[in-house]
């Protein structure tokens, strides 16, 4: 039955978008995405702490850009081509320099669906990003057409990286070097961070969450190990994937506590013979009041953690 | 026509246009008015599927004979627990010969078929599946009366960035074929004829083959466990024939009647011709 409701709803949305919405979208594309210059030449848009919805047009991840003396680098392109275009408008309000690089911190739709707004740039990602996009891209296009609607999804393209990072890489924007680092499986199996050396600002992608419950889509054991190494990164502040810009490395404390609690609870449950379905409801409940979107993602995290940790 | 095409692209999974596109096309031509209400319903989809899978055999209501438990919403699209139970009343002389698990809206709807050994006593079996979309999930039991009985549940797809794909692809590949066997304590702590619970795990990517490389535009080949058999001594507990809807690292937790046999053995093969075999001693008292 629900299925039929969706059908009907889709048709209404699609017919509407064929007329008014498509026009409205192109008008709105000129509106700049609100950004803050958190360090000289380094701009950030802090996304809504929310799931991607039609109302927020998928604009939930933090996105940003760094301006060098020659070129601009974008770090994550947002959750729709519309958001990507608004980001480009925000860039143009600051500089006429070309956007040479679009760095994708990982494959999730809220970070890469804006890529098509920057066609012509070099797309930079972890060595495993292309594989992840291959495995998930078609599914994401299909699933988010359902969740965001055809209007928002029409122009979204899955764009694979043309420059890959295996280990570490320097990107020179002109008198400004970005240090890129590809990590072992943690939030995903293709997380990439970007350190702006001039200002000591770390774009951590979804290796760091604040306020928004961390989401596990890679390896819990890997993530806890990576947090230890991340803490050594010589930065003053962090732009997390979700949540406010914060001091570094103090910003790691909250998610480290949550992930450690999750691991401890799930290990205990596995040892006690509890089923994966039961653990989805019981693990890490002591963290519930400390995070937004806990009910949306904790069961998922516990499920993934169980499937990983039962092989220990 | 336009409305119908759009509605299909919005709400339909791959499966429909891959596997029952014939149904959709037929409906498109046979129904006169292009009204949305005439898009294939979940009942239409199931009737078509059931007809294909069970060759037109009638399906009776299985309520009270078997049960299926799944979360109402898939938390992680790649790992959705499903528990199948035999719930026949005491004294019913029939037993379950086979169970078929069908995820209607998945690209490959038949997730698995389980056949049970004659005296295996498997009254519960749970595994984990991928859920691509909002879907009915049907469980069809074949009883020793040679009739088919069906029950169903409904699962909402997971939202957000969750995908029915590998989380840690290198790990899955590096440890291909590793197995684990666990037994769980029985609260009634009895002897050889009481129900016990055990779990079989095998490392395998169980790739769907529906993943398209965006650079080469080629599909990554499907690679999955197609058959897995679990034995207690020489006696078959169950044999699973499965496909790409079973999650990465296939995992089966089940109850059984202990016979006192000295070993448990698992044999599996995948669609690439790899054979995996392992054996474990039964713990005393189990």
Number of C-beta neighbours around residue B78 at 10 A = 25
Q: Which residues of B touch A304 (CB under 8 A)?
A: 76, 78-79, 167
Alpha carbons B278 and B230: distance in angstroms, whole number: 10
Task: Tell whether A55 is within 8 A of chain B (Cβ).
Answer: no
Q: What is the pLDDT of residue A219?
A: 97
What tens digit of pLDDT does each residue of B208-259 get? 776 666 556 667 788 999 999 999 999 999 999 999 999 999 999 999 999 9
Per-residue confidence (pLDDT) for residue B216, from 0 to 100: 65
User: Mean pLDDT of all residues in chain A?
Assistant: 91
At A164-182, the pLDDT tens digits run: 999 999 999 999 999 999 9
Which residue(s) pair with B281 in the sheet?
B263
Q: What is the per-residue pLDDT for B158?
A: 85
Copy the structure tokens of residue B269: 């093969």
Q: Is A304 on the interface with B (CB under 8 A)?
A: yes
- Given a contact cutoff of 8 angstroms between Cβ atoms, the answer to whether A148 and A57 are in contact is yes
Stronger pLDDT, B163 or A222, i.e. the higher one: A222
Q: What percent of chain A has pLDDT over 90?
A: 88
The ipTM estimated for the assembled molecules is: 0.86
pLDDT value of residue B185: 72
pTM for the model stands at: 0.87
> Given this model, what pLDDT does residue B43 score?
93
Q: Does residue B160 belong to the interface with chain A, where contact is any CB pair within 8 Å?
A: yes
CA triplet A114, A118, A123: central angle to 5 degrees? 90
Q: Is the pLDDT of residue B27 over 80?
A: no
CATH 2.60.40.2470 fits B63-281, yes or no: yes
**pLDDT, tens digit, 9 for 90 and up, residues A242-267:** 999 999 999 999 999 999 999 999 99
Query: In whole angstroms, what is the distance from residue A78 CA to residue A58 CA?
Result: 7
Q: What does the pLDDT look like over A286-304, one tens digit per residue?
A: 999 999 999 999 999 999 9
CB contact B271 to A (< 8 Å)? no
Structure tokens at A103: 């760095």
Per-residue model confidence (pLDDT) at position B284: 59
Which positions 127-156 of A are in contact with B (Cβ < 8 Å)? 128, 130-140, 142-143, 145-147, 150
| Mutation for A interface: B103, B168, B218, B252, most A CBs within 10 A | B168
Residue ranges covered by each domain of chain B = 2-40, 63-281
Helix-strand-coil split of chain A, %, nearest 5? 40, 20, 35
Q: How many CB pairs under 8 A join A and B?
A: 172
Residues from chain A contacting residue B81 (CB–CB below 8 Å): 275-277, 280, 303
- Domain boundaries along the sequence of chain A: 2-250, 251-312
Interface contact B41-A3, CB threshold 8 A? yes
Q: For chain B, positions 184-243, list CB contacts with chain A under 8 A.
A: 184-185, 201, 203, 210-215, 220
Q: With 0-12 CB in 10 A as exposed, 13-18 as middle and 19+ as buried, what is A228?
A: exposed
Domain A2-250 CATH superfamily: Ribonuclease Z/Hydroxyacylglutathione hydrolase-like (3.60.15.10)
Rounded Cα gap, residues A239 and B117, in angstroms: 57
CB contact under 8 A, A311 and B75: no
Q: Does position A84 have pLDDT exceeding 80, yes or no?
A: yes
């Amino acid at each position: 039955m629900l299925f039929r409701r969706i059908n009907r709803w889709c048709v209404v949305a699609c017919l509407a978008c064929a007329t008014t919405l498509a026009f409205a979208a192109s008008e709105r594309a000129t509106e700049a995405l609100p950004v803050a210059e958190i360090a000289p030449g380094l701009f950030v848009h802090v996304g809504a702490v929310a799931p991607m919805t039609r109302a927020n047009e998928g604009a939930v991840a933090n996105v940003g850009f760094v301006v060098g003396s020659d070129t601009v680098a974008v770090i994550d392109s947002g959750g729709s081509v519309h958001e990507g275009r608004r980001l480009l408008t925000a860039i143009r309000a600051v500089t006429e320099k070309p956007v040479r690089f679009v760095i994708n911190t990982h494959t999730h739709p809220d970070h890469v669906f804006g890529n098509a707004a920057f066609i012509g740039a070099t797309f930079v990602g972890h060595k495993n990003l292309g594989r992840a996009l291959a495995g998930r891209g078609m599914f994401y296009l299909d699933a988010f057409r359902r969740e965001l609607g055809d209007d928002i999804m029409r122009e979204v393209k899955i764009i694979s990286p043309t420059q890959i990072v295996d280990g570490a890489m320097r990107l020179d924007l002109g008198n400004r070097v970005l240090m890129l680092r590809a990590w072992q499986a943690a939030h995903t199996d293709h997380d990439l961070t970007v350190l702006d050396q001039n200002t000591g600002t770390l774009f951590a992608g979804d290796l760091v969450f604040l306020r928004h419950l961390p989401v596990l889509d890679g390896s819990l054991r890997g993530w806890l190990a990576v947090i230890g190494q991340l803490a050594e990164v010589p930065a003053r502040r962090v732009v997390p994937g979700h949540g406010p810009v914060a001091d570094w490395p103090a910003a790691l404390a909250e998610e480290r506590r949550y992930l450690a609690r999750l691991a401890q609870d799930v290990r205990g449950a596995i040892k006690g013979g509890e089923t994966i379905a039961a653990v989805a409801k019981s693990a890490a409940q002591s963290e519930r009041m400390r995070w937004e979107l806990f009910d949306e993602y904790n069961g998922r995290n516990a499920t993934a953690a169980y499937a990983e940790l039962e092989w220990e | 026509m336009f409305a119908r095409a759009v509605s299909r692209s919005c709400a339909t999974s791959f499966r429909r246009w891959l596997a029952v596109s014939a149904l959709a096309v037929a409906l498109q031509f046979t129904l006169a008015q292009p009204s949305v209400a005439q898009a294939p319903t979940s009942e239409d989809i199931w009737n078509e599927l059931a007809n294909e899978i069970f060759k037109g055999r009638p399906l009776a209501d299985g309520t009270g004979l078997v049960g299926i438990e799944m979360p109402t919403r898939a938390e992680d699209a790649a790992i959705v627990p499903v528990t199948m139970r035999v719930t026949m009343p005491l004294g019913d002389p029939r037993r379950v010969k086979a169970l078929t698990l069908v995820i209607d809206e998945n690209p490959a709807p038949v997730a698995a078929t389980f056949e049970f050994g004659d005296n295996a006593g498997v009254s519960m079996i749970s595994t984990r599946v991928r859920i691509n979309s909002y879907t009915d999930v049907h469980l069809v039991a074949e009883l020793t009366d040679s009739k088919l009985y069906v029950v169903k549940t409904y699962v909402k797809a997971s939202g957000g960035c969750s995908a029915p794909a590998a989380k840690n692809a290198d790990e899955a590949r590096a440890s291909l074929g590793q197995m684990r066997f666990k037994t769980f304590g029985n609260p009634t702590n009895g002897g050889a004829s009481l129900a016990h619970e055990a779990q079989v795990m095998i490392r395998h990517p169980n790739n769907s083959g529906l993943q398209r490389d965006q650079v080469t535009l080629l599909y990554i080949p499907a690679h999955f466990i197609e058959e897995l058999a679990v034995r207690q001594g020489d006696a078959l507990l169950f044999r699973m024939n499965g496909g790409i809807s079973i999650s990465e690292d296939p995992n089966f937790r089940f109850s059984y009647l202990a016979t006192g046999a000295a070993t448990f053995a698992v044999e599996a093969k995948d669609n690439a011709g790899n054979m995996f075999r392992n054996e474990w001693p039964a713990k005393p008292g189990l």
